[in-house]
């Protein structure tokens, strides 16, 4: 009871600090923005100086969150118009950029997969494989693989939130196994539990490099390359390097975490039963789940087909040029989503 009270107090203190951060940001952001504006900086035009001040305000509000992040994102171009930095047509031109529609289509597909539990089905399917069994090291590996592969297509944060209860269920099985043998463990201090949670967190971030839609920074970088350097990186080209990077990062994370947080048992009693029970709870495939997989598959095929066409017909093929004109990545994403 004492420990619970202490944890409750620490949570309340954290909430108070968070609220304090919002208040500081609410007033500190505009003050710092004004300070930057009135600080002489050689080499900056008046418009550039105004833009720098707006960027300071937006950055501070993104960090401290006195208003929601999407609202802050829209405050930036709005202030740019109000202060005469750029005309309205330029300020909001990026919102009609094809990259935004690739964002939108990818997020809609990811949301559909989350709502209908496709991500959970895949995670439980992978954990139920015969090679995983009840071996703690293999469970460690399977959890990491499920998190990495899911986060290649779905938000890293959403994947971590989805994997969290799965990990907790497996850890509960470990606790029950130890309790049956007369040994009580505290999962907060249990090294394997810490490693399993860290593996989930790192794998979700590592998986984000797999595809352009794996995490928003990928798409932002692709947009910058396309607009500023006239370099277009296709979905297929990204994945050819994304797979290599993900595999290398994953191996490093797995080896290090498995050594730092080893399990002190050779078998987790009840782990297989826990996974099988979860699979049964999901029931049979629904029509919505099947349709979601079909729509997702359509987009994936349209995304990677240009790569195979380039290999088969050559990068200068008229068929490939026509395909890229009719089915660019943004259209492929929206087609599957719609």
Find the domain containing 25 and state its range: 2-93
Residue finishing a domain among 93, 112, 134:
93
Residues 6+ apart with CB under 8 A from 200: 143, 144, 147, 160, 163, 164, 167
Q: Among residues 327, 183, 174, 333, which one has the least CA distance to residue 261?
A: 174
Pair 34, 6 in one domain: yes
Same domain, 118 and 233: yes
How far apart CA 46 and CA 53 sit, in angstroms, is: 11
Rounded to whole angstroms, how far apart are CA atoms 164 and 251?
21
Residue 327 token pair: 């089915």
Domain boundary, last residue among 47, 63, 93: 93
Residues 81 and 150 in one domain: no
Cα–Cα distance between 287 and 157 in angstroms, integer?
A: 27
Q: What is the pLDDT along the chain (338 residues), one digit of tens a residue?
A: 555 556 555 656 655 655 688 889 999 999 999 999 999 988 889 999 999 999 999 999 999 889 888 889 889 999 999 888 888 888 888 777 788 888 888 888 888 888 898 888 888 888 888 888 878 888 899 999 999 999 998 888 888 888 888 888 888 877 777 776 666 766 666 788 889 899 999 999 999 999 988 888 888 888 888 878 888 888 888 999 999 999 999 999 999 999 998 887 777 777 788 888 888 888 899 999 999 999 999 998 999 888 888 888 887 889 988 888 888 888 888 899 99
* Shared-domain flag, residues 173 and 281: yes
Residue 149 contacts by C-beta under 8 Å, 6 or more apart in sequence? 122, 126, 207, 210
DSSP 96: G
Q: Are residues 171 and 299 in the same domain?
A: yes
| Of 93, 109, 130, the domain-final residue | 93
189 and 150 in a single domain? The answer is yes
Give the number of domains in the chain.
Answer: 2
> Residue written as tokens 């305000």?
57
Which residue, among 149, 253, 259, 161, has the nearest Cα to 209 in the 3D structure? 149
């Amino acid at each position: 009871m004492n420990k619970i009270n202490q944890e409750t107090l620490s949570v309340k203190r954290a909430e108070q600090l968070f609220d304090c951060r919002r208040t500081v940001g609410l007033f500190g952001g505009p003050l710092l923005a004004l300070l930057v504006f009135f600080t002489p900086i050689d080499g900056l035009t008046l418009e550039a100086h105004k833009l720098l001040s707006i960027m300071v305000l937006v950055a501070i509000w993104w960090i401290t969150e006195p208003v929601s992040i999407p609202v802050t994102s829209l405050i930036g171009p709005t202030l740019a118009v109000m202060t005469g930095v750029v005309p309205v047509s330029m300020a909001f031109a990026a919102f009609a950029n094809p990259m935004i529609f690739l964002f939108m289509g990818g997020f809609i597909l990811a949301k559909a997969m989350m709502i209908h539990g496709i991500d959970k089905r895949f995670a439980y399917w992978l954990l139920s494989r015969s090679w995983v069994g009840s071996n703690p090291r293999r469970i460690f590996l399977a959890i990491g693989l499920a998190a990495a592969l899911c986060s290649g297509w779905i938000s890293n944060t959403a994947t971590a939130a989805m994997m969290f209860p799965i990990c907790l269920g497996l850890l509960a099985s470990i606790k029950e196994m130890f309790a049956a043998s007369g040994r009580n463990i505290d999962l907060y201090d249990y090294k394997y539990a810490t490693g399993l949670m860290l593996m989930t967190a790192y794998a979700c971030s590592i998986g984000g490099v797999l595809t352009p839609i794996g995490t928003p920074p990928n798409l932002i970088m692709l947009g910058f390359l396309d607009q500023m350097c006239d370099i277009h990186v296709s979905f297929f080209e990204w994945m050819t390097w994304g797979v290599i990077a993900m595999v290398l990062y994953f191996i490093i994370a797995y080896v290090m975490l498995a050594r730092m947080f080893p399990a002190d048992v050779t078998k987790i009693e009840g782990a297989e039963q826990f996974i099988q029970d979860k699979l049964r709870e999901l029931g049979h495939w629904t029509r919505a789940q099947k349709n979601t997989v079909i729509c997702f598959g359509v987009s994936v095929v349209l995304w990677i087909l240009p790569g195979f066409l380039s290999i088969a017909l050559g990068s200068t093929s008229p068929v490939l040029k026509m395909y890229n004109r009719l089915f660019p990545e943004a259209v492929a994403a929206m087609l599957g989503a719609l």
